[in-house]
Chain A
Amino acid sequence: MSAHNNDASQALLEQVNQARAAGTPLQIRGGASKAFLGRQVAGVTLDTRDHRGIVNYDPTELVITARAGTPLGELSAALEAAGQMLACEPPHSDDGATLGGMVAAGLSGPRRPWAGSVRDYVLGTRVISGLGVHLRFGGEVMKNVAGYDLSRLMAGSFGCLGLITEVSLKVLPKPRCEAHIALHLDPQQALLKLAQWGQQPIPISAACHDGTVLRLRLEGGEGSVKAARERLGGEHFQASWWQDLNNRRLAFFADPRPLWRLSLPNNSAALELSGEQLLDWAGAQRWLKSSAPAETIRSAASRLGGHATCYSASDSPFQPLPGALLRYHQQLKQRLDPQGIFNPGRMYAQV
């Protein structure tokens, strides 16, 4: 087998079973491109990158299946060649990000409010469980309601519930046409406009406001994109700007203060918090550079029905869970990973 296509599942299974036998925790890693997110895990490193390669891809089925260690760059290139894409736009550049990490972290890009999240595109997974067996959930079909939806549960669980070894994702054709326009609007006007447009069939697929300028991406057929461009006006800008946003390379992110991600109902008013803000996802995701205390930021997000995640070093990066919900997280972890070997404490100290 070539280096690009290698089934290392047996070695991964052995490493998991050794950890189970010895009772030593594992720190799971792929490309480590999202190592900054979440709590530090003390454990033996389990590297998924040898387990890689596309297992199955039939563009007419709109499904791709690949091993967890497959670099997202390789996956995207295969899709690109068939005119398809991961519609949830997981952030990745040449940072070695892998498919397993994409699903474990569950981070989605600018298209998320319109196209759905990483978990929305997960159709099936293979997982090495805390009982030391290699299992398969879901599959390569669009609709599948047999048993509990463990595949989607794995998305965003940061490796705490099992080791993802293979994933089947729904993929979509790339839009026929796109346009990128910038409009000068203040934040209140921008939010108002976005709420109005959201109720109309306008082909917006990304919307970001930096405090003075609202940037929109339009995607669809030639007719709808042209009509929307004519209606909305604005100035053209480069498509690559969205990659810089998605990979947090814009000047905004260079600010030395801690970075916070606030997930809010899309129509929440502008937040009164110290620091700089960048409004993404048409208002549903707000980036904040602020030295304000974590409690201040978190309570501001909670009041609006959302939550805040710290993207800078923190012992408590994720919003604490209410007591009852935390207890069910612990019970689920205890049942699926009885020895607590998978990334213990990565999300919460108690899980």
Chain B
Amino acid sequence: MNILYDERVDGALPAVDKPALLQALQAQLPDLDILHAEEDLKPYECDGLSAYRCTPMLVVLPHTLAQVQGVLKLCFERKVPVVARGAGTGLSGGALPLAKGVLLVMARFNKILAIDPAARTARVQPGVRNLAISQAAAPFGLYYAPDPSSQIACSIGGNVAENAGGVHCLKYGLTVHNLLKLEILTVEGECLTLGADSLDAPGFDLLALFTGSEGMLGIITEVTVKLLPKPQVAKVLLAAFDSVAKAGRAVGDIIAAGIIPGGLEMMDNLAIRAAEDFIHAGYPVAAEAILLCELDGVEADVHDDCNRVRTLLEQAGATEVRQARDEVERVKFWAGRKNAFPAVGRISADYYCMDGTIPRRELPHVLQCIAALAHKYALRVANVFHAGDGNMHPLILFDANQPGELERAEAFGGEILELCVSVGGSITGEHGVGREKINQMCAQFSSDELTLFHAVKAAFDPHGLLNPGKNIPTLHRCAEFGALHVHAGQLPFPDLERF
């Protein structure tokens, strides 16, 4: 299925006179860097979801707030769609450009404006990389907790736009839990402050509403994040299991014992073997599943919890439990997990990464269904799972050069997401809807719910100029997509109530 913007179902976009717009931008903002030649636009035709590409009409690279404001005002007057882009690492096509739109690249806003150790905050521009914040805070013994796997490259503005997660969310929360304040520009170029330097702000919680809104409600121009003291120690246990179900139960046992690990990750056999071949982390390649359980905090507590977790893992039927002896081995254990995606990339020409979430108790059932679907589509799948918070990343292996394989992989992925919805989960835990999961939104939400989302959008952007076509599907698209699926008989569990 093609997910590029389709005016027929996604809504007509205003016709824009490109030369006239370019001329107006050049006249009003003479210092603004504008890319308009075909060869210069090419590098911006996709974000981290590289299977989908669209050359933007124009790319603007502002470096001052006044320039961003100028671009927005001009585009608002002329009814030109604007797609914001940060570092371009997003996996759901949230920054996929429009042929009839301006791509607003915020990457040059890359300054850390202030680190305040006493208040434990960092005030940064949106183009600052996630990891750069923790690096700047490190001399004060502080860090920024959310750590999406792309943290060396992804920017904080994009993290806010997607409400990015990472491997430590169960204990430390998502981006939304680690923000204090946003400065934004509305579609009309008006400045708003959302949140505050204090822990709460008067009025509606627009800070929460804007977090994860995928550039649809406003443009983020400054971000104030909370910093945390670095945990004194972090220790990691690796447990091997001869069945995925046993590993899943062990996760529940750890939580039930009142322990909240800093990180709790599961990998299945194919993911284990791929990672071991690539990283040589010392993973047991015969295991059906491994769990990595990281405990962090004050040394005495971590020591006690390690012993408790070891006992729980053994009782849950682990065939082997190993604690990393030192920091070198701890990093090595994690390296295998953190490189699971590229490791899978080595054993398959292409892979398609899914991002569904499920209640943890449903894991054995969902993995069984995924195995059955893999058989149906004749494609392999490696499972990597943020087990602590129920966020699955099945990696579907395919070869785009084989006719039909990409389409099969997409159909397989769509079914996995609908499976997640049917067991009470969500189509996206941390990657966002963007353009990638626009059709699955029709499975997650009813038309009444989508109507309310559109009402929220209209309160901030009545003409639909900010990132049109992302995040919330039109009812027209859902009508077509839904009809298609019923026709093909692909919707799993049609008799189950949608949750």
Residues in chain A within 8 A of chain B (CB atoms): 58-63, 83, 106, 112-113, 116-117, 119-120, 129, 131, 133, 135-137, 139-150, 152-153, 155-157, 160-161, 172-174, 176, 195, 198-201, 203, 220-224, 226-227, 263-267, 281, 284-285, 305-307, 309, 318-322, 324-326, 328-329, 331-332, 334-336, 347-348
Contacts and interface: CB of A to CB of B under 8 A. Distances in A.
A347 B191 CA distance: 23
Contacts of A320: 202
B491 to A, nearest CB: 17
Contact of B212 (A106, A148, A322): A148
The 4 A-B residue pairs with the shortest CB-CB distance, nearest first, are: A223-B300, A221-B301, A173-B258, A143-B429
A307 B196 contact: yes
B231 A199 contact: no
Nearest to B390: A141
Given A133-B448, A141-B390, A155-B208, 10 more contacts: A59-B255, A60-B255, A120-B176, A131-B448, A145-B430, A148-B213, A221-B301, A224-B301, A264-B198, A336-B452
A325 B304 contact: no
B56 interface: no
Contacts of A306: 196-198
A137 B300 CA distance: 41
A226 to B, nearest CB: 8
Nearest to B141: A199
B444 interface: yes
A135 B357 contact: no
A145 B429 contact: yes
Contact of B358 (A59, A141, A281): A141
B202 A309 contact: yes
Interface in B162-180: 162-163, 165, 169-170, 173-174, 176-177
Contacts, number: 275
* Most chain B beta-carbon neighbours within 10 Å: one of A62, A203, A318: A62
Contact of B255 (A62, A135, A149, A332): A62
Most buried by A among B216, B429, B433, B456: B456
Contacts of B427: 146
Contact of B297 (A59, A150, A224, A267): A224
A139 B117 CA distance: 36
Contacts of B358: 141
Given A152-B209, A173-B258, A331-B459, A143 B196 contact: no
13 contacts: A61-B255, A61-B359, A63-B359, A120-B176, A142-B429, A143-B386, A143-B391, A146-B427, A147-B445, A155-B208, A220-B297, A222-B300, A267-B119
Contacts of A106: 200, 205
A201 B205 contact: no
A112 B430 contact: no
Nearest to A63: B359
Contacts of B142: 199
A321 B424 CA distance: 38
Contacts of A135: 446, 448-449, 452
Nearest to A174: B258
B15 interface: no
B129 interface: no
A328 B192 contact: yes
Given A142-B357, A147-B444, A152 B170 contact: no
Contacts of B163: 145, 149
Contact of B120 (A140, A199, A322, A335): A199
A163 B428 CA distance: 26
Interface string B390-406: 11000000000000000
A302 to B, nearest CB: 10
Contact of B201 (A281, A307, A326): A307
B229 A200 contact: yes
Interface residues of B, number: 100
Interface-central residue, B117, B162, B205, by most chain A CB under 10 Å: B205
B190 interface: yes
Contact of A146 (B120, B190, B444): B444
Interface string B294-335: 000111110111000000000000000000000000000000
A227 B198 contact: no
Contact of B425 (A119, A136, A139): A139
Contacts of A120: 173, 176-177
Interface in B410-463: 424-433, 437, 441, 444-446, 448-453, 455-460
Given A146-B433, A199-B141, A334-B459, A224 B428 contact: no
Given A119-B208, A224-B300, A332-B459, A201 B232 contact: yes
Most chain A beta-carbon contacts within 10 A, residue among B197, B360, B448: B197
B43 interface: no
A265 B458 CA distance: 33
B11 to A, nearest CB: 17
B118 interface: yes
Contacts of A145: 162-163, 174, 212, 426, 428-433
A227 B298 contact: yes
Given A135-B446, A146-B433, A149-B211, A331 B204 contact: no
B161 to A, nearest CB: 10
A318 B202 contact: yes
Contacts of B446: 135
A146 to B, nearest CB: 5
A234 B191 CA distance: 48
Given A143-B174, A150-B456, A201 B229 contact: yes
A328 B460 contact: yes
A278 to B, nearest CB: 16
B203 interface: yes
A170 B253 CA distance: 17
A153 to B, nearest CB: 5
Interface in B77-118: 116-118
Contact of B259 (A112, A129, A173, A195): A173
A143 B200 contact: no
Contacts of B140: 199
A329 to B, nearest CB: 6
Contact of B357 (A59, A144, A203, A331): A144
A284 B298 contact: no
Determine which residue in B121, B360, B452, B458 has the highest number of CB atoms from chain A within 10 A of its CB, and name it. B452
A142 B433 contact: no
